[in-house]
Each structure stands twice: as structure tokens, then as C-alpha cells.
């Protein structure tokens, strides 16, 4: 990993573009870090330190160069109850534990679980995330003077119209500068970043969270840490996939999981909140020409530079301009295509997508939404596969023996159809059940066959089962994975 | 390596000035060893991401799919010209070798991708241009400015 050609490729293959992209991204990190510190109910400092520390650490130890990680919406919405109930020190402790869990997940290769997350669930996740980011802006948009709406609209106008004139400067930055200047010099009475809490004035320092190291503390933080770890890894794996596709390069997902863990662990020790990869900002990075570790690193360092050097200026930025930037991130994260696709996709996939979104928005927990989506897509899959089941039957010439030929997939969902396939009331001497073209997947299927045989025997009919060699059925199942190309690599590891 | 019998001379060429001398040496070596020559050129795709000049940092409706399409379009055009260039190079190399009296020449035209691959998994997988061929020892000539994929061939 640390050989010179790899280092050069991952850091210095195009330093100029990467540094520029990193600076553009840093500007998009500030609103999210500040905005979601406020959502989580902590000082902007907590989010800003976290974004700096996560971005810098992940650039060193992550597995997906060019991906941007920092303090995120997905994590911030989870921790509000913890902070309200127990205070911010518990957030730091939970973040440290979150990192530990993520590193363990990396060693356990849990990224392989992503295989079971269908495309519809992923789309639902992305859309739900976009909606969460948008909802998080609502407190800044309700019960505020009309002027705020005007400022947000003006900010959005600058963000989207300026790139038509020039693509040489980041339009979100221009929007922030224009709005700040106007608000400051015209003395408008709107909320600014300085009103939201303390901004960092020094480098973050190491600290051990001020919590009692007892089992009770662990019981308090563990549920939060586990959810934060799961949500963080989900979004990171998803973003890594998006960056993989955009850059047409591979990434080391396992390393990325461990990297996320390491980044969160140390961020907790620095007094920051947990974070993960960010879809919107990663897209901005790639769009701006960033694709190595350098751009991620620069984004973190430049963020801190901005705060330490321009701190007093950051305090006068009106919240409305940050809201405009976050609305942009929300719009860019949302998959608008998925709405159009609902008309052409199978209804099941649309239902999975919508259920994922609804559960997330309802619970504010992306993990629960994904779980609901995965369960539902599994059920839909089972109900589709159970239709791969055929029965045909004929009666012998003397009318005493009937042969049933069963084909297809027999498993828990199709076992009812299997039982119903037989006419138990027909008077026969002998029944032959030919299952040589059927596959018995689980013990429900085997149990159903037993049940059918018993029902025939109760009527005094002799039953012969043909083609069921339990050894071979078991063999198929065991070898079913191995006959596909690349299975060794998946199972055996690297 | 048990079997050291060489099967062919691999001449790796690119657009650099070395290509001509590589072909010359390959021809010389092939004649002395009575081996066939395999001419290799790896198409290096231009990096579409850094080719874009856009620091606007604004993301809007359908940005992911739009960006994807744009990146594909950018590299698609570049790749087509690169492929054409590669064909011309291989043909010229073949011509050079024929002129020096080599008759048994095979050419190999491969894609080297965008140049960056960060997955350890992919790197560790054996990379043969055509199956068993990569295990055969051979003489390799050419500027060693190939990407990993081709490097797996020559190292």
C-alpha cells in the first residue's frame, strides 16, 4: 500500500486539479458542518472540527481516493436525543465507540452485505438522505422574516446561474460572499453563523470524553454507536460505489470501512461528532476534477485554514446563504431519475424505494429505512421466484397409478403451492412424485414433501418419490456458489 | 521458473521515439533466437475527470447521471482516436519488422483503462492477455511505461 508508485498515483497524479477541487469542496463542507452541528444541538465547532479531522484522516487511511468524508447529515440526525438527554461528552464517547465498531466491521468484511441491498433500496436511501438534508434546513426557513426567503432565493439563483457565465470559480462561494457582503453592509437583521454558537479559534486538541467509564455509560452509548456505525458505513459504501462508477476505478471497500472507523475514533478524541462519506460533496469533488487522496486532504486542511484565519468573517455569514448551499446539496443528492423511472420500473421496486424513503423520513434513521427496504425486496423476490414452479401429471392406463412431475424451485414461499398440487381424494393404489427437475432449497420444502406423502398414505395410497437424492440436493446447494466464476475470490478473500 | 524455453519476443511500443528502436531490437533478437515477435500496444485512456474545466461546484437536478454521461462521452471520443493511433503504430511496427525479415508476427492491442486503479483485489488478480500466455517466459522490449495491466505481462 505504501510503495512509491501507488503513493504517487494516489496523491500526486494531478496535484493542481486536486488542490482546486479540494478548495471547492471545503466551501461546500462548511454549511453542512455548521448546519448539522445545529441540528444535533452542539456548537458549530464540534461539526467543523469533525469535518477537518475526518477529511484529513480518511485521506490518509481510506480505501477510496477522491471520496469526501466529513461530518454529515445522516449521522447528525441520529445523535440529537443522546445530546439532549446526556450532553455532548456522551456524543464524543459514542463517536469513539462508533469508530471501533466500524473497524471491527471492516475486519469482518461486512461490506459484502452490500450485495443484498438492491438498487431500489439504494435509490430510496439516496432520496431519503436528500430529504433529510432538506428537512434539516426547515428550522432556518420557518418563523423567519420574509427577507430570509429573498436571500435564500438569491443565493440559489447565483449558485445555478453563475456556472452558465463562468465555470472558473465556485458559484456556492460567490453566493456566500455576495450575500454576506450585502447583509453586512446593509445591516440586515438576519441570523448569522455567529449567532449559532461558538466557532473554533484554535486547533482542536486531544481530550478524553468526560464520561464515567462504567457499564451504564456503555449501555447508553452502544445503541447510538451501533446505529451511527451502520448508517456511516452504508452511506460510505454507497458513495464509494458512485465515485467508483464516475472515475471508472476500483476501490478497496474493506480498507474504506476500517478507514472510516479510524477517522471517527480519532475525531471523537478531538471533540468532534461522527461522520461518513458524503454523496453530494464527493460528486462536487469529482465534478471539479478531484480524484485522489490529495483533494480530500486539501478539503480538510483548507476548511481549518478558513476557520482559523477567516474565523471572524465566517461569523458574519448569514445562515440564509448556507441554507441555499444545503438546498443545492440536497437537490444534487436526490435521484430525480427515480421519480421518472417509477412509471417504467416493476411496481415492486417502486414500492421498495418509497418504503425506504418513508421509513427514513419517519424515523430519521437511514439504517431502519434500509432494513425495511432490504426485507421488503427479499419478500418480493421470494414471491417472484415461487412462481418458478410447475406441476404436470398423468394417470397410468389402468387408472391405479398417478405420476406427478414437479419442476422448479420449492422453498418456504412455494411450499403451499406444492401441497396444493396434489389431489389427495383421488382413489389410487400408487402415487409417483417425480421431483428430479425440482430443487428443494430449505427445510420447509423438505417438510412439505413429507406432509404430502403422509396425506397420501393416510388415504391408503402408496407413495414413491423419484429423483430426490438428498445427498445430491444438498450437494447442489453447497456447490451452487462454487460453479460461478469469481466465487473463490469472494469466499476465500484476497 | 522451471521451463525456460522462450516462446516469443514481446515488443511493447507506444508513441515515443523509442518505438522504432524497440522494433529494431525485437527483430534482431527474434532472428538470433528464431522466435516469433509479439507487438504490444496499450491504449491509455485520457483522464476525463481532469480534462474537464469546471470549478463551479454547483450540483443540480440529475447531476450524477449527467456527470457520468459527460465523462463517458469525453473519454469515448479520446479513446477512439487513441485506438486509431494504436492501430497505426502497430501496423508501422509490423511493417518495420517485416522489412527486417521477420515473418512470424502477432499483434496485441489492449486497453489500459484510465490509469488509476485503487483496488487491491483487482491488482492481485493475475492478468493475462490471453490466458496461459502470461506464464510463458519471453524477451520483453520497449519503454516500460505501461499501466499495471500490461506490467503484469512484462514483469
Say if A124 is an interface residue toward chain B (CB within 8 Å). Answer: no
Q: For residue B67, which phi and psi values (nearest 5 degrees)?
A: -65, -40
Sheet holding A430-440, edge to edge: A389-395, A401-410, A430-440, A462-466
Give yes or no for a contact between B44 and B116, defined as CB atoms under 8 angstroms apart.
no
Mean pLDDT for A118-128 is 92
What's the confidence (pLDDT) of residue A419? 86
Residue with cell 406441476: A391
- Of B129, B39, B144, residue with least CA distance to B89: B39
Q: What is the dihedral of CA B86, B88, B92, B94, to 10 degrees?
A: 60
Give yes or no for a contact between A79 and A91, defined as CB atoms under 8 angstroms apart.
yes
Measure the CA angle with vertex A257, ends A69 and A36; round to 5°. 35
Percentage of chain B lying above the pLDDT 70 cut:
69
| DSSP assignments along A381-397, one per residue | HHHHHTT-EEEEEEE-T
Mean pLDDT for A281-309 is 92
- Of A251, A238, A246, A335, residue with least CA distance to A278: A238
Q: For residue A489, which phi and psi values (nearest 5 degrees)?
A: -60, -40
pLDDT tier, A457 (very low <50, low <70, confident <90, very high otherwise): confident
The overall longest dimension of chain B from CA atoms, in Å, is 64
pLDDT tier, A378 (very low <50, low <70, confident <90, very high otherwise): very high
Q: How far is A284 from chain B (nearest CA, A)?
A: 5
- The residue with greater pLDDT, A117 or B2, is A117
What's the confidence (pLDDT) of residue A182? 95
| DSSP assignments along B78-100, one per residue | HHHHHHHHHHHHHHHHHHHHHHT
Say if A215 is an interface residue toward chain B (CB within 8 Å). Answer: no
A60-79 residues touching B, CB cutoff 8 A:
63-65
Give yes or no for a contact between A59 and A297, defined as CB atoms under 8 angstroms apart.
yes
Q: Which of B55, B115, B122 sits opposite A169 (nearest CB)?
A: B55
Buried b (16+ CB within 10 A) or exposed e, A329-355: bbbbbbbbebeeeeeebeebbbbbbbb
pLDDT tier, A71 (very low <50, low <70, confident <90, very high otherwise): very high
CB contacts, 8 Å: B121 with chain A? 250, 252, 489, 494
Mean pLDDT for A309-331 is 89
Interface test with B, best of A10, A64, A289 (most B CBs within 10 A): A289
- Of B37, B117, B142, B75, residue with least CA distance to A291: B117
Q: Which of B60, B116, B120 sits opposite A249 (nearest CB)?
A: B116
CB contacts, 8 Å: A280 with chain B? 59
Percentage of chain A lying above the pLDDT 70 cut:
94
A394 has which bridge partners? A403
CB contacts, 8 Å: A17 with chain B? 49-50
The verdict on a CB contact (< 8 Å) between A284 and B59 is: yes
What's the confidence (pLDDT) of residue B145? 40
pLDDT tier, A12 (very low <50, low <70, confident <90, very high otherwise): confident
pLDDT tier, B19 (very low <50, low <70, confident <90, very high otherwise): confident
How many Cα atoms sit within 13 Å of A206 on the Cβ side?
A: 2
pLDDT tier, A379 (very low <50, low <70, confident <90, very high otherwise): very high
CB contacts, 8 Å: A32 with chain B? none
Residue with cell 461522527: A274
Percentage of chain A lying above the pLDDT 90 cut:
49
Q: How far is B47 from chain A (nearest CA, A)?
A: 9
Q: For residue A48, which phi and psi values (nearest 5 degrees)?
A: -70, -45
Averaged pLDDT of chain B: 73
pLDDT tier, B125 (very low <50, low <70, confident <90, very high otherwise): very low
Q: How far is B63 from chain A (nearest CA, A)?
A: 6
What's the confidence (pLDDT) of residue A263? 97
0.90 exceeded by pTM: no
Say if residue B45's pLDDT is above 80: no
Q: Which of A170, A172, A246 sits opposite B67 (nearest CB)?
A: A246
Q: Which long-range contacts (CB under 8 A, 24 or more apart) does B95-103 make?
A: B96/B20, B96/B23, B96/B24, B96/B27, B97/B11, B97/B23, B97/B26, B97/B27, B97/B30, B97/B37, B97/B39, B100/B24, B100/B27, B100/B28, B100/B31, B101/B27, B101/B31, B102/B27, B102/B30, B102/B31, B102/B36, B102/B37
A359-378 residues touching B, CB cutoff 8 A:
none
Say if residue B120's pLDDT is above 80: no
Mean pLDDT for A308-313 is 84
Mean pLDDT for B85-97 is 90
The verdict on a CB contact (< 8 Å) between A248 and B113 is: yes
- Of A271, A278, A267, A269, residue with least CA distance to A231: A278
The verdict on a CB contact (< 8 Å) between B57 and A255 is: no
Residues whose CB is less than 8 angstroms from the CB of residue A163 and which lie 6 or more positions away in sequence, other chains included: A171, B54, B56, B58
What's the confidence (pLDDT) of residue A470? 60
Beta-carbon count within 10 A of A185 CB: 8
Mean pLDDT for B44-51 is 76
pLDDT tier, B146 (very low <50, low <70, confident <90, very high otherwise): very low
Q: How far is A299 from chain B (nearest CA, A)?
A: 13
What's the confidence (pLDDT) of residue A208? 87
Say if residue B123's pLDDT is above 60: no
CA–CA separation, A35 and A139 (whole Å): 10
Say if residue B65's pLDDT is above 50: yes
The verdict on a CB contact (< 8 Å) between B54 and A287 is: yes
Mean pLDDT for A99-128 is 93
B138 has which bridge partners? B8
Q: Which of B49, B56, B63 sits opposite A171 (nearest CB)?
A: B56
CA–CA separation, A270 and A378 (whole Å): 41
The verdict on a CB contact (< 8 Å) between A159 and B58 is: yes
A312-351 residues touching B, CB cutoff 8 A:
328-329, 331-333, 335-337
Say if A246 is an interface residue toward chain B (CB within 8 Å). Answer: yes
Buried b (16+ CB within 10 A) or exposed e, A41-59: bbbbbbbbbbbbbbbbbbb
DSSP E strands in A202-337: the ranges are 275-277
CB contacts, 8 Å: B155 with chain A? none
CA–CA separation, A131 and A334 (whole Å): 8
Say if A490 is an interface residue toward chain B (CB within 8 Å). Answer: no
**Residues belonging to chain B with any Cβ–Cβ distance to chain A shorter than 8 Å:** 47, 49-50, 52-65, 67-68, 71, 75, 113-122, 124-125
Say if residue A475's pLDDT is above 50: no
Q: Which long-range contacts (CB under 8 A, 24 or more apart) does A459-462 make?
A: A459/A424, A459/A425, A459/A427, A461/A428, A461/A429, A461/A430, A461/A431, A462/A429, A462/A430, A462/A431
Averaged pLDDT of chain A: 88
- The residue with greater pLDDT, A55 or A338, is A55
Q: How many CB pairs under 8 A join A and B?
A: 134
CA–CA separation, A253 and A234 (whole Å): 11
The verdict on a CB contact (< 8 Å) between A286 and B67 is: yes
DSSP E strands in B26-126: the ranges are 37-43, 105-111
What's the confidence (pLDDT) of residue A128? 94
What's the confidence (pLDDT) of residue A56? 96
Q: Which of B63, B115, B118 sits opposite A252 (nearest CB)?
A: B118
Parallel, antiparallel or unpaired: strands A389-395 and A401-410: antiparallel
Say if residue B104's pLDDT is above 60: yes
CA–CA separation, B126 and B149 (whole Å): 9
What's the confidence (pLDDT) of residue B144? 42
CA–CA separation, A249 and B110 (whole Å): 17
The verdict on a CB contact (< 8 Å) between B116 and A13 is: yes
What's the confidence (pLDDT) of residue A270? 92
Report how far apart, in Å, the C-alpha atoms of B112 and of each of B19, B79, B151 are: 18, 11, 10
- The residue with greater pLDDT, A67 or A207, is A67
- The residue with greater pLDDT, B113 or A356, is A356
Say if residue A289's pLDDT is above 60: yes
pLDDT digits (tens, 9 = 90+) for A77-87: 889 889 999 99
Say if A165 is an interface residue toward chain B (CB within 8 Å). Answer: no
Chain-centroid distance, C-alpha A294 = 24
What's the confidence (pLDDT) of residue B62? 79
Say if residue A373's pLDDT is above 90: yes
CB contacts, 8 Å: B64 with chain A? 242, 246, 283, 332, 335
Amino acid at each position: 500500500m505504501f510503495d512509491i508508485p501507488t503513493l504517487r498515483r494516489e496523491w500526486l497524479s494531478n496535484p493542481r486539479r486536486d488542490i482546486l477541487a479540494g478548495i471547492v469542496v471545503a466551501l461546500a463542507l462548511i454549511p453542512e458542518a455548521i448546519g448539522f452541528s445545529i441540528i444535533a444541538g452542539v456548537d458549530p465547532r464540534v461539526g467543523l472540527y469533525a469535518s477537518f479531522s475526518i477529511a484529513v484522516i480518511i485521506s490518509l487511511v481510506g480505501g477510496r481516493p477522491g471520496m469526501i468524508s466529513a461530518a454529515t447529515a445522516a449521522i447528525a440526525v441520529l445523535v440529537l436525543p443522546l445530546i439532549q438527554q446526556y450532553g455532548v461528552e456522551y456524543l464524543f464517547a459514542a463517536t469513539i465507540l462508533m469508530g471501533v465498531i466500524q473497524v471491527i466491521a471492516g475486519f469482518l468484511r461486512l461490506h459484502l452485505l452490500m450485495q443484498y441491498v438492491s438498487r431500489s433500496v439504494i435509490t430510496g436511501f439516496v432520496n431519503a438522505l436528500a430529504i433529510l438534508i432538506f428537512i434539516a434546513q426547515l428550522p432556518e426557513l420557518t418563523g423567519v422574516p420574509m427577507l430570509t426567503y429573498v436571500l435564500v432565493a438569491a443565493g440559489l439563483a447565483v449558485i445555478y446561474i453563475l456556472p452558465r457565465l463562468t465555470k472558473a470559480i465556485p458559484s456556492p462561494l460567490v453566493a456566500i460572499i455576495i450575500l454576506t457582503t450585502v447583509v453586512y453592509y446593509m445591516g440586515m437583521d438576519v441570523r448569522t453563523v455567529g449567532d449559532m454558537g461558538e466557532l473554533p479559534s484554535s486547533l482542536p486538541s486531544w481530550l478524553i470524553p468526560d464520561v464515567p467509564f462504567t457499564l451504564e455509560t456503555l449501555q447508553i452509548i452502544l445503541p447510538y454507536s451501533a446505529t451511527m456505525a451502520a448508517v456511516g458505513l452504508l452511506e460510505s459504501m454507497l458513495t464509494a460505489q458512485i465515485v467508483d462508477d464516475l472515475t471508472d476505478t476500483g476501490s478497496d471497500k474493506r480498507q474504506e470501512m476500517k478507514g472510516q472507523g479510524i477517522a471517527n475514533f480519532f475525531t471523537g478524541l478531538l471533540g468532534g461528532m461522527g461522520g461518513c462519506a458524503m454523496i453530494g460533496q464527493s460528486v462536487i469533488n469529482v465534478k471539479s476534477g478531484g480524484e485522489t487522496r490529495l483533494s480530500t486532504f486539501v478539503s480538510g486542511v483548507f476548511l481549518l485554514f478558513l476557520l482559523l484565519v477567516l474565523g471572524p468573517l465566517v461569523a458574519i455569514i448569514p445562515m440564509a446563504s448556507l441554507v441555499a448551499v444545503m438546498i443545492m446539496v440536497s437537490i444534487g443528492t436526490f435521484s430525480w431519475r427515480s421519480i421518472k423511472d417509477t412509471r417504467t420500473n416493476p411496481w415492486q421496486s417502486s414500492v421498495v424505494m418509497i418504503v425506504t424513503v418513508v421509513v427514513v423520513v419517519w424515523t430519521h434513521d437511514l439504517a431502519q429505512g434500509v432494513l425495511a427496504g432490504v426485507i421488503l425486496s427479499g419478500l418480493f423476490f421470494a414471491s417472484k421466484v415461487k412462481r418458478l414452479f410447475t406441476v404436470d401429471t398423468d394417470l397410468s392406463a389402468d387408472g391405479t397409478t398417478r405420476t406427478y412431475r414437479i419442476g422448479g424451485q420449492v422453498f418456504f414461499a412455494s411450499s403451499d403451492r406444492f401441497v396444493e398440487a396434489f389431489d389427495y381424494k383421488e382413489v389410487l393404489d400408487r402415487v409417483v412424485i417425480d421431483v428430479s427437475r425440482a430443487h428443494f432449497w430449505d427445510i420447509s420444502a423438505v417438510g412439505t414433501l413429507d406432509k404430502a406423502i403422509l396425506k397420501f398414505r393416510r388415504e391408503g395410497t402408496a407413495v414413491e418419490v423419484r429423483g430426490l437424492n438428498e445427498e445430491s440436493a444438498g450437494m447442489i446447494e453447497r456447490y451452487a456458489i462454487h460453479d460461478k466464476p469469481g466465487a473463490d475470490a469472494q469466499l476465500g478473500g484476497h | 521458473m522451471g521451463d525456460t524455453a522462450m516462446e516469443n519476443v514481446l515488443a511493447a511500443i507506444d508513441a515515443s521515439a523509442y518505438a522504432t528502436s524497440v522494433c529494431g531490437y525485437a527483430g534482431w533478437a527474434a532472428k538470433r533466437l528464431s522466435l516469433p515477435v509479439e507487438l504490444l500496444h496499450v491504449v491509455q485512456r485520457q483522464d476525463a475527470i481532469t480534462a474537464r474545466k469546471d470549478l463551479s461546484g454547483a450540483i443540480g437536478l440529475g447531476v450524477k447521471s449527467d456527470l457520468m454521461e459527460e465523462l463517458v462521452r469525453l473519454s469515448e471520443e479520446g479513446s477512439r482516436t487513441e485506438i486509431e493511433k494504436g492501430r497505426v503504430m502497430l501496423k508501422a511496427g509490423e511493417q518495420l519488422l517485416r522489412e527486417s525479415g521477420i515473418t512470424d508476427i502477432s499483434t496485441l492491442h489492449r486497453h489500459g483503462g484510465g490509469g488509476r486503479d485503487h483496488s487491491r483485489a483487482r491488482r492481485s488478480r493475475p492478468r493475462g492477455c490471453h490466458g496461459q500466455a502470461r506464464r510463458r517466459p519471453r524477451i520483453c522490449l520497449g519503454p516500460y511505461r505501461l499501466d499495471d495491466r500490461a506490467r503484469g505481462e512484462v514483469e
